[in-house]
Copies of this chain bind each other. A is one copy, B any other.
Amino acid sequence: MTRVLVVDDEPQILRGLRTNLVARGYVVDTAPDGEAALDLAARHRPDVVIVDLGLPGIDGVDVIRGLRTWTAVPIIVLSAREQESEKVDALDAGADDYVTKPFGMGELLARVRASERRAVSPDAEEAVVRTPAFTVDLTAKKVVAADETAIRLTPTEWHLVEILVRHPGKLVGQRQLLQEVWGPRYEEETNYLRVYMAQIRRKLEPEPARPRFFITEPGMGYRFEPGG
């Protein structure tokens, strides 16, 4: 399941893209302006972002910069402007691709596929992490306890678990966690981390009061220890 965020101020284009993408099996979010786009991106964590440069309010290039402060998600730019300086600015701000309107839907879809392929390929291996108490399947986005029962995680819980599990043994700073899960404006809300780490431990740790796998490093961050 690939989630695509489309940002454009023209309702027709938005509708056209949504229809085509949904028909290909994508899950689609749409945003009419930059504000909504940044907000949605932080909450829904799209796998690909398609953004129009000519937006009301925040400029498209600034949307790209805003995203790039905290995520490496592939960004495809749409634009009616042919000027080379526009393209260079958008690409150097962190965009991955640039398509000029009018564009063919087939081409755009092919570029989306290329973006997906790039993002998924590096970690295709070893998508399952096992511990003595539970198993995390990163591609299926599932957690299974040692006794084979499935464990349900909320989106936010999963997001945290995913980040920690992808860096086994490494300390992940609270800033980084907050930024990646909630967005760059939440770097100070260490409260969230405490609440959610407690919930995660309740669901995954044999003894939530004595964490073996999700270790707190006071004042610094959290660490996932696969060995326990």
Q: Which residues from chain A sit less than 8 Å from chain B, CB to CB?
A: 72, 84-85, 87-88, 91-92, 94-98, 104, 106-107, 109-111, 113-114, 117-118, 121-122, 139-142, 152, 154-155, 158, 169-171, 217-220, 223
A220 contact set on B, CB distance < 8 A:
141, 155, 158
The minimal Cβ–Cβ distance linking A168 to chain B, given in whole angstroms, is 9
Q: What are 28 residue pairs bridging A and B, where the CB atoms are less than 8 Å apart in the complex?
A: A72-B118, A72-B121, A84-B104, A87-B104, A87-B107, A88-B106, A91-B110, A91-B111, A91-B113, A92-B110, A92-B114, A96-B114, A97-B97, A98-B111, A122-B122, A139-B170, A140-B169, A140-B171, A140-B223, A142-B171, A142-B223, A152-B217, A154-B218, A154-B219, A155-B218, A155-B219, A155-B220, A158-B220
Alpha-carbon distance between A98 and B219 when the two chains are bound, in angstroms:
47
Number of copies: 2
Asked if B95 contacts A114 (CB within 8 A), the reply is yes
A158 contact set on B, CB distance < 8 A:
220
- The 10 A-B residue pairs with the shortest CB-CB distance in the complex, in nearest-first order: A155-B219, A141-B171, A91-B110, A84-B104, A88-B110, A140-B170, A91-B114, A87-B107, A88-B106, A84-B107
Given contacts A106-B88, A107-B88, contact A169 B155 (CB under 8 A): no
Q: Which of A72, A104, A114, A140 has the most CB of B within 10 A?
A: A114
A139 contact set on B, CB distance < 8 A:
170
Residue of B nearest to A119 (CB): B118
Contact of A94 among B117, B154, B170 (CB under 8 A): B117
Residue of B nearest to A123 (CB): B122
Alpha-carbon distance between A92 and B106 when the two chains are bound, in angstroms:
11
A111 contact set on B, CB distance < 8 A:
91, 98
Given contacts A139-B170, A171-B141, A219-B154, contact A106 B122 (CB under 8 A): no
A98 contact set on B, CB distance < 8 A:
107, 111
The minimal Cβ–Cβ distance linking A64 to chain B, given in whole angstroms, is 11
Asked if B155 contacts A141 (CB within 8 A), the reply is no
